[in-house]
Amino acid sequence: MKQLSKQAREVEDILAFARIWAPFGGVPEDETFVKFGMRPWRFIERLWHILSEKPCDRAEVDQLLQAYPPTAMAVTGPDPDAPTTSDDHTRPGCAP
């Protein structure tokens, strides 16, 4: 059986964790830090980066989009001056 690299394992772990928590509105804030050592905004940023590079199911993306909207905070980090209007919620696409 082929062993995954550390980075590939992290990608799979993030996707699995996001999928598990999506029906409950997303991962609790403290869980992203405990499991991955990252703040929620970084987890969301990483998740959408992963999804932009992987083939994915549209229904799954829609569910993840509801639980983890890619807001300005997810892109820029915890900047209190970053705009967060409904226009900032763009629909991410899947990798071709």
pLDDT tens digit sequence for 41-88: 999 999 999 998 888 888 988 999 999 998 745 444 555 554 444 444
Judge whether 34 lies within some domain: yes
Judge whether 93 lies within some domain: no
Judge whether 74 lies within some domain: yes
Q: What is the pLDDT of residues 27-43, one digit of tens each?
A: 998 999 999 999 999 99
Judge whether 94 lies within some domain: no
Both structure tokens of 48: 């959408």
Residues 75, 46: Cα–Cα separation, whole Å:
9
Judge whether 19 lies within some domain: yes
Eight-class DSSP state of 82: S
Per the structure, the count of domains in the chain is 1
Boundaries of domain holding 21: 6-88
Judge whether 13 lies within some domain: yes
Judge whether 75 lies within some domain: yes
Judge whether 27 lies within some domain: yes
